[in-house]
């Protein structure tokens, strides 16, 4: 409990540095929130999270950021049981847990449909590079974790999310400037 509170406090401090936060943060389960594959465990066991995971989840909730799960686990029942045992099921607005060959693109389509949150307003953590690559193509800021979700991954994720938002905003401003510049030049041509 003391460790969770420390991580939550530090996560809130990290979040406080950024001018914009994602509207939705999506987490993989196996080797991202917890250090095992569900299909290798029994529902009767008591699971555990990576040491920073609960504090990070709590910090996002405190900041009003919605959370979701995208897991390709073939043991969806076990995963749901573990979420209940860890008392975190209610933290997530969407839980897409099903086996798939699509690198989680189907998971994200369902999450987007359920929440209405644009892909560009999402941040995703996963331990598999192929999922990161494919989901990134959808416009989601996607972070590869090597040792589960931790404070370093959080900092990296928020940094990349803000960079993507800034780039998108700059491109939008360039487009508006270019478009408005073109329309005024065509107005000048019409006046001649």
3-state SS, residue 17: coil
Which residue ranges make up each domain of the chain?
Answer: 1-170
3-state secondary structure at position 102: coil
* Statement: residue 191 has pLDDT above 60: no
| Euclidean distance between CA atoms 150 and 29, whole angstroms | 14
Q: Is 126 a catalytic residue?
A: no
pLDDT of residue 178: 72
* CA 156 to chain CA mean position, Å: 12
Choice among 30, 66, 126, 127 that is catalytic: 30
Check if 28 is active-site: yes
Q: What is the mean pLDDT of the segment spanning 146-158?
A: 96
Give ∠ CA 35-148-25 in degrees, rounded to 5: 120
Chain segment 10-55, per-residue pLDDT in tens: 999 999 999 899 999 999 999 999 999 999 999 999 999 999 999 9
Q: Which of 28, 52, 126, 127 is catalytic?
A: 28
> CA–CA separation, 107 vs 183, rounded Å?
41
CATH topology of domain 1-170: Rossmann fold (3.40.50)
pLDDT of res. 190: 43
């Amino acid at each position: 409990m003391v460790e969770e509170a420390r991580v939550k406090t530090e996560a809130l401090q990290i979040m406080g540095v950024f001018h914009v936060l994602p509207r939705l943060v999506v987490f993989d389960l196996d080797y991202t929130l917890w250090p095992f594959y569900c299909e290798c465990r029994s529902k009767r066991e008591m699971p555990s999270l990576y040491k920073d995971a609960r504090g990070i989840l709590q910090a996002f909730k405190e900041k009003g950021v919605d959370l979701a799960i995208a897991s390709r686990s073939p043991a969806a029942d076990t995963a749901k049981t573990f979420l209940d045992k860890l008392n975190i099921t209610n933290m997530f607005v969407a839980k897409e847990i099903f086996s798939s060959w699509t690198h989680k693109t189907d998971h994200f389509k369902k999450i987007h449909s359920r929440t209405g949150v644009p892909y560009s307003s999402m941040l995703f953590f996963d331990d598999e590079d192929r999922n990161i690559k494919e989901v990134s193509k959808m416009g989601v800021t996607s972070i590869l974790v090597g040792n589960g979700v931790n404070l370093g991954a959080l900092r990296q994720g928020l940094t990349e999310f803000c960079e993507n938002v800034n780039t998108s905003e700059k491109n939008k401003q360039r487009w508006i400037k270019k478009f408005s510049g073109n329309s005024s030049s065509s107005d000048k041509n019409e006046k001649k």
